[in-house]
Chains A and B, each alone.
Chain A
Amino acid sequence: MSDFIIHVTIMSGLYALLALSLNLQAGLGGLMNFGQIALFACGTYGAAIAFHFDFGAVSGFVLAVLAAALLGWAFASVGRNLQADYWGIVTLALAEVIRIIATNEDWLTGGAQGIGGIPPLYAGLDGQTRQLVILATVLLLVLAAGLFCRHLIGGRYGLSIKIMREEPQLAASLGYDTIALKRQLMAVSSVLAAVSGFLFAHYVSFVGPEQIDSSETFLIWAMIVVGGLGNNAGAIVGAFLLQFTFAFIPFVKDWIGLPSEYVAAGRLLLTGGGLIAFILFRQSGIVPERVGGRRYV
């Protein structure tokens, strides 16, 4: 059982990084990014392509981070004159374009067959120790990312982003370059998503286009909505809560003794019902955003 919990914690940690990244964009900056999974894809495909062409894991990491930062920058640039909802649609479309490229350029991405056999991180260690070291790495990264986001939000920069979110014209009149702010925010948050993708690829050992389906973006959205949009702790709580719920629903099925044809239906019912309950009864999530909270400007 403990092995299973370690695994679920690692996966939750990877999703927490993604959720923190999306929370920076959507929660803090009001940037409705529906293409978050494309930034994650930069991470997974960075790792996979580096492995495929024998560049080594370090160059894979550099590739992943650079690609994601560039893509984040491009996301922000494409929509510089669009309102939030239209920009959201553009990001969704861009993410789909990237998925379609990944499905078709098989010389680079392995096409629909994907790239398999990516070696795990810390390959020298034995299975059990490796899991623990990966767990420690992921948890440290989540902690570091959480502190980094807190620092970003708490400072002057965070305030300027919040003004841009609430009153873009006011921000512009105060001399803030809102397009530059958006670009920076997207580039920085994209790096978090890429790190998550890079670790995911090495952990799962396989990268393929079905992993970057647009439905995955909405799972990350569900995490920050449940956890509390605009709150870093909320993003982490949401990621862990949803991931653990997903992982433990099969046990509920075993305990109740449901026949296997109800497994999928039960899972969908529980997660869907849970989300609706949150939207009805706790709109601001488990850990709501603190308005005018402590800051260290």
Chain B
Amino acid sequence: MKSILLSGVFVLGLSVAAYAQEAVIGAVLPLSGSSATQGDDQRRGMELALEKINADGGVLGHPLKIITEDSGGRTATALDAAKKLVTVDKIPVVLGEFSSGITIPIAQYLLQQDRVHINIGSSSTQIRSLGKGAFSVIGLDDVSGAFAAQDVFSGGAKNVAVIAPNNAYGQGIANAFAAKFKSLGGAITSTVLYTEGQTTYRRELQQLAAGEPDLYVYTAYGKESATINRESFELGLNDKKWYGLYLTMCTADSDPQYVEGQIGMDLNYIGGNGGDYQKAYEAKYKGGFTSTFNGFAYDGVMLVAAAINKAKSLDPQKIEDAIAEIGKSYEGATGPILLDADGQRSTQPYLRLKIESGKAVATQ
């Protein structure tokens, strides 16, 4: 007990002594609660970024440090965490969260306190209107939805059915997809937003099939996607084409025979820094990406580190200016990052993928 106390005091003393020089940034992630899988994956991305930054000499000549707080997937806890990072740890930049419903209130708080916020996981278009000091390294729903709609339409499908989870992500991307697809002249036969965590989605799939679409557009995480793919196979719905939004996420946990021949879009991890990043992730965590969100977390940390080095200061205002400057052309692991006047990622290169012999391969 005594030694624990002593080491605690030692760590405390060390952190206080080192504070003056060390660059410390904060993160609020859902490490517990319903989005814990994605949150932990975000943490992995940050860890990889931290290793790379510190191997390359750190920030302002010192190793970078990230204080990661758990949001528990709750607004109230996330706000506690953000307030702790600002008022106690005196942190200039905070990255996070995953759910739009949590990202928006913590970002609003951070901006009120003149701190910088980097959105690494939420894609609600409401984030665009947060104001100065808020940046997104992830393309919002309008960016990804529009790409997918264009892709599906040019592939020849005119009547499509959409199935997505009934949460902020699913509603957002389904709406963005539908808006763009209709503007191109296509029609949505039906949109089904399913409740996560069900043991079966047969009812939803039958409802979807009733509209007799040319193609099914779907997006789902882990366990749900495995069930949806299996049941659509059993119901014979795979005689039509299936288009996955973030295809590798949709097919990661599914039996390869159910998803063979599916097409879709995903983030571009190939080329630039992406290939090295993917290798580093697979080497460290012994497997493919758990979700698509680790890459944005990685890019968020890398961008902030570059900005602090450029600004040569830990002053939030100077970091904000540096991010805006770097964001004019930055090569991230998730492809080139171009931030628009609102600090949002305006373009994002996506890949068109197809599942062949159980593997996602790029087409075009």
Q: Shortest Cβ distance from A179 into chain B, in angstroms?
A: 34
A297 close to B (CB within 8 Å): no
**Contact B104 A260, beta carbon cutoff 8 Å:** no
Q: A interface, by DSSP: helix, strand, loop or mixed? A: helix
Considering only residues 183-221 of chain A, those with a C-beta below 8 Å from chain B are: 204-206, 208-211, 216
**Contact B104 A116, beta carbon cutoff 8 Å:** yes
Interface band, chain A: 35 or more
**Contact B31 A255, beta carbon cutoff 8 Å:** no
**Contact B81 A257, beta carbon cutoff 8 Å:** no
**Contact A113 B100, beta carbon cutoff 8 Å:** yes
B206 close to A (CB within 8 Å): no
**Contact A264 B72, beta carbon cutoff 8 Å:** yes
Which of B40, B86, B171 sits near A112, CB closer than 8 Å? B171
- Chain B residues positioned under 8 Å from A250 (CB to CB): 69-70, 80-81, 84
**Contact A11 B76, beta carbon cutoff 8 Å:** yes
**Contact A254 B36, beta carbon cutoff 8 Å:** no
Closest A residue by C-beta to B83: A7
Query: What does the 1/0 interface line of B65-96 toward A look like (CB < 8 Å)?
Result: 01111101111110111011011100000000
**Contact A210 B101, beta carbon cutoff 8 Å:** yes
For the complex, count residues of B whose C-beta is within 8 A of A.
Answer: 49
- Chain A residues positioned under 8 Å from B193 (CB to CB): 104
A251 close to B (CB within 8 Å): yes
- Chain A residues positioned under 8 Å from B167 (CB to CB): 103, 112, 210
**Contact B126 A112, beta carbon cutoff 8 Å:** no
A3 close to B (CB within 8 Å): yes
**Contact B32 A206, beta carbon cutoff 8 Å:** no
- Chain B residues positioned under 8 Å from A264 (CB to CB): 31-32, 36, 70, 72
**Contact B105 A205, beta carbon cutoff 8 Å:** yes
- Chain B residues positioned under 8 Å from A104 (CB to CB): 166, 193
Q: B interface, by DSSP: helix, strand, loop or mixed? A: helix
- Chain B residues positioned under 8 Å from A7 (CB to CB): 79-80, 83, 87
A85 close to B (CB within 8 Å): no
A247 close to B (CB within 8 Å): yes
Contacts A112-B168, A210-B73, A260-B68: A251 and B84 contacting too (C-beta < 8 A)? yes
**Contact A112 B31, beta carbon cutoff 8 Å:** no
* Complex Cα–Cα for A1 and B11 (A): 19
- Chain B residues positioned under 8 Å from A117 (CB to CB): 108, 126, 129
* Complex Cα–Cα for A260 and B104 (A): 23
* Complex Cα–Cα for A235 and B169 (A): 37
* Complex Cα–Cα for A192 and B172 (A): 34
Q: Shortest Cβ distance from B120 into chain A, in angstroms?
A: 15
Number of A-B contacts (CB under 8 A): 126
- Chain A residues positioned under 8 Å from B84 (CB to CB): 4, 247, 250-251
Closest A residue by C-beta to B141: A113
Considering only residues 42-62 of chain A, those with a C-beta below 8 Å from chain B are: none
Considering only residues 242-297 of chain A, those with a C-beta below 8 Å from chain B are: 246-247, 250-251, 254-257, 260-261, 263-265, 267-268
Which of B11, B31, B36, B126 sits near A116, CB closer than 8 Å? B126
- Chain A residues positioned under 8 Å from B79 (CB to CB): 7, 11, 204
Which of A247, A256, A263 sits near B11, CB closer than 8 Å? A256
- Chain B residues positioned under 8 Å from A267 (CB to CB): 32, 70, 72
**Contact A257 B43, beta carbon cutoff 8 Å:** no
**Contact B101 A208, beta carbon cutoff 8 Å:** yes
Q: Shortest Cβ distance from B76 into chain A, in angstroms?
A: 6
A111 close to B (CB within 8 Å): yes
A106 close to B (CB within 8 Å): yes
Q: Which are the 6 A-B pairs with shortest beta-carbon distances?
A: A264-B31, A208-B101, A264-B32, A260-B68, A257-B11, A3-B87
User: Told that A205-B108, A263-B68, A264-B31 touch, could you supply 6 new A-B pairs with CB distance under 8 A?
Assistant: A1-B87, A2-B87, A116-B104, A209-B101, A250-B80, A260-B43
Interface residues of A (CB under 8 A from B): 1-4, 7-8, 11, 103-104, 106, 111-114, 116-117, 127, 204-206, 208-211, 216, 246-247, 250-251, 254-257, 260-261, 263-265, 267-268
